[in-house]
Amino acid sequence: MVKDQEFLEKKASYCLGLAKKLGSTESSVIINNSVSETVNFRNKKLDESNRSDDLGISITTYIGKKKSSISSSNLLDDNLNILIEKCVETTKNTPEDEFNSLPDKDLLAKEVKDLDLYDDTHIENDQKIDYLKKLESAASNDKKIVNTESSFTQNKSNFILANSEGFCAGYKTSSFTASSVTVAKDEKSMERDYEYSSKCFLKDLDDAGELGKQAADQTIRKLSPKKIGSEKIAIIFDKRIAKGILSTFASAISSSAISRGTSFLKDKVNQKIFSDKINVLDKPDILKGLGSRNFDSEGVKTDTLKLVDQGILKHYLIDTYNGKKLNLKSNGRCGGTSNLYFENGNISFKDLLNSKSKSLYITETIGHGSNIVTGDYSVGATGFLVENGEFKYPINEITIAGNFKDMFKNITLANDLEFKYSTNSPTMMIEGMVVAGK
């Protein structure tokens, strides 16, 4: 069982009290507890069960403009005593930084809305096993599938965030996640692909059979890939890859990258960085949303932001420290975005595929090829050649490259947005990128 609010609040107030007694002028504390139970299947048999019970505390103490922090998984009082004393000592010896401080009191969240993020349902391992049996049976229907690995996880978490300004709030969240990874083989090749579903509420989870079938279909269609020549060609990003491009955008507008001058989007607020039709929203109050929250990791109230309006960048993602440095108010984005998404475009998936006589549909990228300082992008890719709206054959061992500054201006979005992750995008086409192959 996940620890209750009362236990966490008591610990938090103990820490704040002790920090004050030892000489800190301000302090904040976060305590998390998370209990997960996972069952893994492989080739229709039980492979692994895993139970984890994680407790963690993180304390930051300030003495004027000096700051230091400690974290631990051991919440026993005598351990906390040693650590808080160490933290305060370290704070004394750390140089001042004029921008160090807790958030402004008037920005802190005043109320905690119920965003429907916690499902009390407990699913026993035997029920997880039933789900995985059904999933793996659907996944291994086709003879070309030679290996299946599937997993079901139930997670229940609780947390408290408290600071010496009197803020003290937290709430429970839950998630239920199922995934399936399948390997298919033919004479020429062996390929792997996956499907995944994660929800706050058990009853919303995808059907086991459909998930397994989806994973298998996506793997089988990758068999016997070809390598193509190097050329400039329109690229269509599957939703699961398109969301990564949105995440890179979010990193590039984080106030820390902006204040340090290490982002290609520095000084671009109120400038056009996407084409007219592009809108980006970060909406924290979606009921049951995977990224939903009432406040950020400093306790600052999180409102919906239209980050990009008709192609124009409107906001950075601002926390307290970097906000003070940039002379801007925190907008509750310490720790990043909540439910971040591109609004739908106005053409269907089918019309997007049809819009070019020849294009590449990318389903997977590998490598860490996004450079937010320069905007350069170069990654390994796997996908399909599309001709006149039809998937012709699978492609691998190629790279795709460009620069985000140009790529952002050449995005066309389909109208097939769904909220499957915390960051989501409709299917995306970008023109003018370079493919390197043979």
Partner 1 sequence: MSNFFEKSDLSRSEAENIISDTLQKCDDGELYLENSKSESILLDDNKIKNSSYNSDLGFGFRAISDEVVAYSHSNEISKNSLKQSSENLKSTLKSVKGTYNHEIPKSNKKYYENINPIEQKSLNEKIKILNEVNNYLRSKDDNIKQVTANFLGEQKSVEIIRSGGETLTDVRPLIRFNVSVMLEKNGRKETGVYGVGGRQSYDSYLKDDNWKSVCDEALRIASVNLESKPAPAGEMKVVLGPGWPAILIHEAVGHGLEGDFNRKKTSAFHNLMGQKVASEGVTIVDDGTIDNRRGSLTIDDEGTPTEKTVLIENGILKNFMQDRLNARLMKTKSTGSGRRENYRHIVLPRMRNTMMLSGNQTQDEMIKAVDKGIFAVSFGGGQVDITSGKFVFNCTEAYEIVNGKIGSPIKGATLIGDGPSILKEVSMVGNDMMMDPGIGTCGKAGQGVPVGVAQPSILINKMTVGGTKL
Q: According to CB under 8 A, which residues from 162 to 201 bind partner 1? A: 183, 189-192
> Which 3 state secondary structure label does DSSP give 122?
coil
Interface with partner 1 (CB under 8 A), residue from 4, 47, 303, 351: 47
Binding of partner 1 at residue 122 (CB under 8 A)?
no
Nearer to partner 1 by Cβ, of 151 and 412: the residue is 151
Question: By CB under 8 A, is residue 339 in contact with partner 1?
Answer: no
Amino acid at 96: E
Q: Applying CB under 8 A, does 94 fall inside the site for partner 1?
A: yes
Q: Which of 28, 165, 162, 300 is nearest to 317 (CA)?
A: 300
Residue 398 found at the interface with partner 1 (CB under 8 A):
yes
Q: Please report the DSSP string for 123-153 in residue order.
A: --HHHHHHHHHHHHHHHT-STTEEEEEEEEE
Interaction between residue 50 and partner 1 (CB under 8 A): yes
Q: Is residue 95 at the binding interface for partner 1, with CB under 8 A as the rule?
A: yes
Identify which of residues 56 and 389 has a Cβ nearer to partner 1 in the complex: 56
Whether residue 41 contacts residue 133, with contact meaning beta carbons closer than 8 Å, is answered with yes
Q: Least CB distance from residue 16 to partner 1, whole Å?
A: 18
Shortest reach from residue 181's CB to partner 1, in Å? 9
Residue 248 makes contact with partner 1 by CB under 8 A: no
**Minimum distance from CB of 314 to partner 1 (Å)?**
24
Question: Does the protein bind partner 1 through residue 112 (CB under 8 A)?
Answer: no
Residue 24 neighbours by CB distance under 10 Å: 25
Is 319 a residue that touches partner 1 (CB under 8 A)?
Answer: no
Nearest residue (CB) to partner 1, 289 versus 323: 323
Binding of partner 1 by 69 (CB under 8 A): yes
Q: Which helix (H) or strand (E) holds 211?
A: helix 208-220
Residues 253-282 that bind partner 1 (CB under 8 A): 259-262, 264
Contact between 1 and partner 1 by CB under 8 A: the answer reads: no
Starting at the edge strand found earlier in the chain, the sheet holding 312-313 runs: 312-313, 305-309, 280-282, 340-342, 423-424
CB 189 within 8 A of CB 394: no
Distance, in Å, from the CA atom of 77 to the CA atom of 54, rounded to the nearest integer, reads 17
- Please pick, from the candidates 70, 102, 280, 300, the single residue that binds partner 1 as defined by CB under 8 A: 70
Q: Under the criterion CB under 8 A, does residue 438 sit at the interface with partner 1?
A: yes
Residues 63 and 25: their CA atoms lie apart, in Å, by 5
CA–CA gap between residue 70 and residue 35 (Å, rounded): 22
Phi, psi of 429 (to 5 degrees): -115, 135
Instruction: Report 210-229 residues binding partner 1 (CB under 8 A).
Output: 225
Query: 229 or 390, CB closer to partner 1?
Result: 229
Least spacing, CB of residue 46 vs partner 1, in Å:
5
52 binds partner 1 (CB under 8 A): yes
Q: Which two tokens stand for residue 1?
A: 């069982």
DSSP result, 319-336? -HHHHHHHT----S-TT-
Residue selected from 157, 339, 382, 412 as contacting partner 1 according to rule CB under 8 A: 382
- What is the C-alpha to C-alpha distance for residues 302 and 30, in angstroms, rounded to an integer? 18
Part of the chain binding partner 1 (CB under 8 A), chosen from 13-21, 80-88, 286-294, 416-424: 80-88
Residue 99 — φ and ψ, nearest 5°? -90, -5
**Least gap, CB of 268 to partner 1 (angstroms):** 14
